[in-house]
Chains A and B, each alone.
Chain A
Amino acid sequence: MRKSIKKKKKNKDEVPTKEFRKECREFAEKWIGIHKKEFKRLGVIGDWENYYSTMSFDAEAQIVRELGKFLLEGSLYRGFKPVLWSTVEKTALADAEVEYKDHKSNTIYSTFQVNKTDKDFLQNTSIVIWTTTPWTIPANKALAYNKDINYSVLELDDKKIVVAEKLINSVIKDCGLSKFKIIKSFKGEVFKNTICSHPFKNLGYNFEVPMLEANFVTLEQGTGIVHCAPSHGPDDFNLCLKNGMKAIETVNNDGKYTKNIAVFEGIHVFKADEVIIKNLQEQKNLLGSGTLVHSYPHSWRSKAPLVHRATPQWFISMESHKLRKKALESIDNTIFYPEKGKERIRAMIESRPDWCISRQRSWGVPLPIFVNKKTNEPLKDPEVVENIAKIYEKEGSDCWFYDDPQRFLGKKYKKEDYIKSTDIVEVWFDSGSTHSFVLEKRKDLKWPASMYLEGSDQHRGWFHSSLLESCGTRGRAPFESILSHGFVVDGKGMKMSKSSGNIISPDEILKKYGADILRLWVASSDYAEDLRIDLSILDQHAESYRKIRNTFRFILGNLRDEYKSKDFKKINYKELPELEQLILHKLYLLNNEIKNNLKKYNFHKLQKHLLNFCSLDLSSFYFDIRKDILYCDDLNSKKRKFCVDLLNIILECLIKWYAPVLSFTTEEINELAQKNKKTSIHEENFPEIPKSWENKKLFEKWEKLLKVRQQVNVAIEEKRSEKIIGSSLEADVEIELPKTEFDLLKGIDAQELFIISNVVQNLSKKNEILVSVKKAKGTKCSRCWKIVQEVKDGKCSRCLKIK
């Protein structure tokens, strides 16, 4: 599009780029503003005022310096890479400028004679390929096969050919082969180390064409073997580069073969098919030909068909300065959560090709490179790099496009001797450099970072580019640890998409549930896998939230919204009833669980422990038992005071433990329970739980008692469902216990433990627990609802004393 503006203002070539970049910058700024609000709404606390961006002037300047390091050390080199090219507009086109529409292409089946092989049955055979771009045959450098596909050797009248077993029929039909015999079938992996000759060997194409393994080879069409021209296709390019074969310039701007294409130099590729087919026939390497109407890329402006064409690009070598080795070593020194991330990124670094860092676009940091017209070498002068960086720091990088190149070169060099690069730096280099202009530059931060935390796709993206950039410039990774998480999928585990209609937006959740529910979902999900979400899953988390909220509500209600801070170390532990001691021991255990799971960032396990504590240990046990004391005892009763102390302790622990996840709710409680305090809950540290609260012996004893309690509860529940009793307080329980349990229960207030009105304990002769429940006889105290033998004014003796 910019080209069209350029044409209108021929003499001011620079102005549209400047305007265009200005609009890009404003667009990005607008979205940063929107994102900021949306992220803050989630409860995320950070330095929102002083955020960083890759387009700030100091970022652009530092990106120049970082690139300069690769340039100066010599690991940055110029090579060739295929891009989608319009021979009409003579320019590369981005994906967005490409329209796919039907196009009639010439198709050929061509043969490549096997030259070297480990296998006897491949001797004197020819590998058959099929292509819709016959003109790319002169640029062929390799053949690709799939190691898992089955292939067959067919005997024809005059030769033996090799094709995929499943495609024999279509090849036979397309090539009009009437007589053939299958003489051997084998797995693709057998092709390893096989080398063929180019079909134009006799025309001077006297080089080896290796067979390479590639999983992009399928059985969809053709022969199951793909001809690779690294200058004319991205898959071909990557595969060849991986195997040490670089692309070269085979076609020029106009679409004509260059001097690198012997015999055919100067022919336009759109007129070349006929010539190539004729020559293949003469060389007896044409098995068949035809035409195919298929979807093919066209320029959205000129409507002309496009070609993949290798163009000059800048690369950072993985080998010249041992970048691969440094990166692999750094992976070993990085902690990965979950551990599987390590192997994932290692495999990618091991096999990745050199890093192409140039793009033929406008919106990015211009590549700060001058190429000498005579030597064709890039200028390597630290002063020039620093000069460019200094200029960008002051005014940004727009000036590169319109200022006099002499300004950037300084006085030492003449602009007439150099060609200024018109490329920009690819964005992954930008973000791969954030560690340099954020972590290193800001005094409040540190380098390397403690952690990088992203979706698992970033093993290919940001983790990867940051690792390479930093290893290349600083010899190690810019992070100490990496935490990666899965993707958000719907309730059935399917990818969210517009067409499936299963997308949930954060905004929708915030409006219906609130950020704390979303945060609880995040913290309770196992991020090592994909994370499922839909409304029913959110409802489950809303239900968990309700349990947690009710736990807090019970505590706050009994404290009358007044929290009194307790010095945990000064709690007189020995003085407390066993039940309170047990709860302190549980807090001690919970604290250990939290610490251990935090070390490994196992938030979902930690959340489970916390939720269980709230609902099992507190709501349906401790609170249930203590309701009587809290509601009915005198305010000054010792037992009640102990219980209130415990509620204060539990509140402090829970509010702090929940603060990182339920950031809003804990703040709400904090504001409510400490009206005079002006600090946020997020300024607090986690509680320190005294070792003296650990009490294994007591815990073991109560584990046994709780088993008895469980059996009693079951028996009471039976009578309740039979409508023999209403609440458990109407129960009179007779219980037979084995010796251990009998002795243990003796020292305990069993009525209180079982929340009943009368209990008779007997020693069992059979070493088993037997419980029988009947309706308690007596009168119900009108105040505490216990059934007692004697009441006065309708009240039991305890309640009678309370004024």
Chain B
Amino acid sequence: MAENNLNLPKTAFSMKANLPSKEPQILESWDKNKLYEKLRKKSAGKKKFVLHDGPPYANGHIHMGTALNKILKDIVTKFHQMSDQDSIYVPGWDCHGLPIEWKIEEEYKKKEKKQR
């Protein structure tokens, strides 16, 4: 077909997404370019939208429930940001309480058993 001078589509945007390997690179560029700070600077003075983060408990790897919650928060935050607002998201953690006490006590228990 090439000899026919057809204007066939040509792109570096591959059909296969390779998201698991590509996404971390994009993350790096956001970090490097200080995207969050740029957003704040750019939208200073605009109408504020504040989604206040309910703090997850600082214990154990994230699961589907926490992932769903954080992604939904991010989608809401971004939709407001792109609607010409200053959409601010400050993540937080809940740190006190029993589950952590238990973990530390468990560690003590293990140590004590070893000492016996």
- The interface of chain A, by Cβ under 8 A from chain B, is 1-2, 4-5, 20, 23-25, 27-29, 31-32, 34-36, 38-55, 94-97, 361-365, 424, 427, 430-431, 434-435, 438-439, 442, 444-446, 449-455, 458, 462, 478-479, 483, 485, 487-488, 496, 503-507, 510-519, 522-523, 527, 531, 533, 545, 549-550, 552-554, 556-558, 560-561, 598, 601, 603, 630-633, 635, 656, 659-661, 663-665, 667-669, 671-672, 678-680, 682-686, 782-783, 799, 802-803
A25 to B70, CA, bound (A): 24
Inter-subunit contact A523/B13 (CB<8 Å): no
Quick one: closest A residue to B8, CB to CB? Answer: A631
In the assembled complex, 14 residue pairs joining A and B whose CB atoms fall closer than 8 Å, in A order, are: A1-B108, A28-B95, A32-B58, A44-B89, A53-B94, A363-B96, A445-B88, A450-B48, A452-B52, A452-B54, A487-B65, A505-B61, A556-B9, A660-B79
Chain B residues contacting A479 (CB-CB under 8 Å) are 52
Chain B residues contacting A505 (CB-CB under 8 Å) are 61, 63-64
> Closest CB of chain B to A634's CB: distance in Å?
9
Quick one: closest B residue to A478, CB to CB? Answer: B52
Inter-subunit contact B63/A96 (CB<8 Å): no
Quick one: closest B residue to A795, CB to CB? Answer: B4
Given contacts A46-B77, A598-B79, A685-B83, contact A667 B52 (CB under 8 A): no
Quick one: closest B residue to A453, CB to CB? Answer: B73
Inter-subunit contact A46/B39 (CB<8 Å): no
Chief secondary structure at chain B's binding surface: helix
Chain A residues contacting B13 (CB-CB under 8 Å) are 549, 552-553, 556-557, 561, 668-669, 672
> Closest CB of chain A to B12's CB: distance in Å?
6
A667 to B24, CA, bound (A): 12
Inter-subunit contact B10/A560 (CB<8 Å): yes
Inter-subunit contact A522/B68 (CB<8 Å): yes
Chain B residues contacting A522 (CB-CB under 8 Å) are 68, 71-72, 75
- The B25-73 residues at the A interface (CB cut-off 8 A) are 26-27, 29-30, 33, 35-36, 38-40, 42, 48-56, 58-73
Seed contacts A38-B62, A453-B69; 14 additional CB < 8 Å A-B pairs: A28-B58, A438-B52, A438-B92, A445-B50, A452-B51, A453-B73, A483-B72, A503-B63, A516-B17, A552-B13, A663-B78, A665-B19, A680-B35, A799-B4
Chain A residues contacting B107 (CB-CB under 8 Å) are 23
Inter-subunit contact A427/B52 (CB<8 Å): no
Inter-subunit contact A434/B88 (CB<8 Å): no
Chain A residues contacting B54 (CB-CB under 8 Å) are 431, 452-454, 458, 462
Inter-subunit contact B91/A48 (CB<8 Å): yes
A39 to B62, CA, bound (A): 8
A503 to B15, CA, bound (A): 30
Chain B residues contacting A803 (CB-CB under 8 Å) are 5
- The B78-101 residues at the A interface (CB cut-off 8 A) are 78-84, 88-98, 100-101
A1 to B101, CA, bound (A): 10
A527 to B66, CA, bound (A): 14
Inter-subunit contact A46/B91 (CB<8 Å): yes
> Closest CB of chain A to B86's CB: distance in Å?
9
Chain B residues contacting A2 (CB-CB under 8 Å) are 105, 108
A424 to B97, CA, bound (A): 9
Which of B38, B76, B84, B96 has the most C-beta atoms of chain A within 10 angstroms of its own C-beta?
B96
A719 to B63, CA, bound (A): 52
Given contacts A28-B93, A39-B91, A558-B9, contact A682 B39 (CB under 8 A): yes
Q: Give the contacting residue for A438; candidates B9, B12, B81, B90; CB below 8 A.
A: B90
A680 to B93, CA, bound (A): 28
> Closest CB of chain B to A457's CB: distance in Å?
9
Inter-subunit contact A485/B101 (CB<8 Å): no
> Closest CB of chain A to B93's CB: distance in Å?
5
Inter-subunit contact A514/B19 (CB<8 Å): yes
Inter-subunit contact A485/B59 (CB<8 Å): no
> Closest CB of chain B to A654's CB: distance in Å?
13
A95 to B89, CA, bound (A): 35
Inter-subunit contact B11/A553 (CB<8 Å): yes
> Closest CB of chain B to A711's CB: distance in Å?
30
> Closest CB of chain B to A43's CB: distance in Å?
7
Inter-subunit contact B20/A557 (CB<8 Å): no
> Closest CB of chain A to B108's CB: distance in Å?
4
Q: Give the contacting residue for A47; candidates B66, B76, B91, B100; CB below 8 A.
A: B91
Inter-subunit contact B67/A518 (CB<8 Å): yes
